[in-house]
Structure 1
């Protein structure tokens, strides 16, 4: 198949992922998917039936964006996957037209995997600790974190590293006012997901490439990427975006 765009590190195909993915026979390290949630009457917002099953043939690790409504309604389609965790993307602005509910300022991204967890690449996300945290927790002995059913494990010794686990709520400004695609995700948000689930130099697959944000994030972080986009208008926009970011050969 002829790519719609390729620069040696990033490749974009035009078409329905349900038709192209089997033909591509990919073995990706990570999928980052932002499918249509199927929650509105908009013409483009149509859930592609069966896509999670097809995705399972291409990789063993996947981040998927969605709403709680979407994941509950489509849970049976993720039968080939096991859920490891979820993160919450907190936006700076709300979305949705309802006026009788809490203002929605977040979306979920769930991490799915297949096979043994130990075989799935996961780069533990850590952030610098504040001076206050280091001073407060300077003791070499600390009670371990809660485990299932509210029980606590025994005290364990640990060494202060100056870092802490990153929180599962990621606050990143949305693309409102500058988005190419109506559901475009910001590159700084996608960078967290890509670097967590894909080793450096590995391959990221985005089956709903949209404006090319995931491809952009993957390339900027030193990963390779393949995207598939069904709408030529957005495939063209993604190609233009990626070609502008491509540096000429020396």
Structure 2
């Protein structure tokens, strides 16, 4: 579905596609019809080399059983939440908890077959859908943790608490799994620095201030949701930030490994994987979103920067000085 162009401020960096770009990037997409038999039925597993580092334009349910088994190190899942939502013409309707759980059950266990035995899975949701996500995760994986990340956006509510957080459930296939805690340490300001023999203890004194490297916890308050002045921003209604994906990828996918995203949206997981030296497979049913992803992937050829991540360290929100 082609979206109408909005009139934007010259300073607005939100990604747009020209007609020529749309035609160009559509040629980069992989359509599963290319793997169909004479009757048009998709059969067998897709050859991994034919979909590696590609964007597949398809409905997950139509191809989930054709994805190569045990190929992915990290499965990142950002499905439609249990809300009425319009994804530029592709509408998802809210249901009961039982109905939403049944929806998850229709593809989640089948999707897990793509994970390596040492692989990890992360699945996103809000407070309304989180109980359903946990129930399904517990049934099919070893649940390791729940990440809560602060999504500070929106005008609030008059008759309820403003919803400023979302959940990400973390699970593994087994007890032997990849996790690199050192790769996701955060640089935090030290407000009351402690010294030992006159020297900083467990912190560093710099021209920009006093900082300490800390292990990443499961509450993330350093994430900025993409907005109009950020180059990674698109018109996708539920776009995830590259910084958020960077944490998950660095922690749970080794360099050169494979990140699989079955609900790619505007391409954040694939783009971040590429910037961090990982392989990717993205699946998205909206052709326009797929083209957005491909344009962002083209930018990632030359621009490897990730907002809030520099020199192998994640910085607290608004503490990383602009670097030129």
The question of a shared fold, defined as TM-score above 0.5 by the shorter chain, is answered with yes
What is the CA deviation profile of residues 106-135 of structure 1, one whole-angstrom value per residue up to 9, with x for unaligned ones?
21111111111xx21111132346566772
Q: Is 1:205 matched with 2:260?
A: yes
Please point out which of 130, 148, 157 is paired with 1:71.
130
- Paired position in structure 2 for 1:150: none
- Paired position in structure 2 for 1:123: 180
Q: What is the CA-CA distance between 1:99 and the residue it aligns to?
A: 2.8
Please point out which of 161, 171, 177 is paired with 1:102.
161
- 3-state SS of the aligned residue for 2:131? helix
- Paired position in structure 1 for 2:84: 40
Please point out which of 80, 88, 92 is paired with 2:148.
88
State the alpha-carbon separation in 2 of the partners of residues 115 and 29 from structure 1: 13
State the alpha-carbon separation in 2 of the partners of residues 94 and 55 from structure 1: 33
Q: How does 1:1-250 map to 2 (within 5 A)?
A: 4=29, 10-26=53-69, 27-40=71-84, 42=86, 44-46=91-93, 48-49=103-104, 50-59=106-115, 60-78=119-137, 79-94=139-154, 98-116=157-175, 119-124=176-181, 125-128=184-187, 135=194, 163-170=213-220, 171-177=222-228, 178-247=233-302
TM-score by length of 2: 0.61
State the alpha-carbon separation in 2 of the partners of residues 208 and 243 from structure 1: 20
What is the CA deviation profile of residues 84-111 of structure 1, one whole-angstrom value per residue up to 9, with x for unaligned ones?
0122221332377x53111111211111
State the alpha-carbon separation in 2 of the partners of residues 101 and 132 from structure 1: 33
- 3-state SS of the aligned residue for 2:164? strand
State the alpha-carbon separation in 2 of the partners of residues 110 and 211 from structure 1: 21
Q: What is the CA-CA distance between 1:83 and the residue it aligns to?
A: 1.2
Distance 1:65 1:133, change over 3 A: farther
State the alpha-carbon separation in 2 of the partners of residues 7 and 122 from structure 1: 28
Where structure 1 has 5 or more consecutive residues not aligned to the other structure, the ranges are 140-158
Distance 1:179 1:165, change over 3 A: same
Q: What is the CA-CA distance between 1:77 and the residue it aligns to?
A: 3.0
- Paired position in structure 2 for 1:152: none
TM-score by length of 1: 0.77
State the alpha-carbon separation in 2 of the partners of residues 227 and 39 from structure 1: 23
- Paired position in structure 2 for 1:149: none
Count of aligned pairs between the two proteins: 223
What is the CA deviation profile of residues 113-167 of structure 1, one whole-angstrom value per residue up to 9, with x for unaligned ones?
1111xx211111323465667726x69xxxxxxxxxxxxxxxxxxx969632123
What is the CA deviation profile of residues 191-244 of structure 1, one whole-angstrom value per residue up to 9, with x for unaligned ones?
011111101111000010000000011111111111100111211221222234
Q: What is the CA-CA distance between 1:3 and the residue it aligns to?
A: 7.0
Q: Is this contact kept in 2: 1:9–1:219, CA < 8 A? A: no
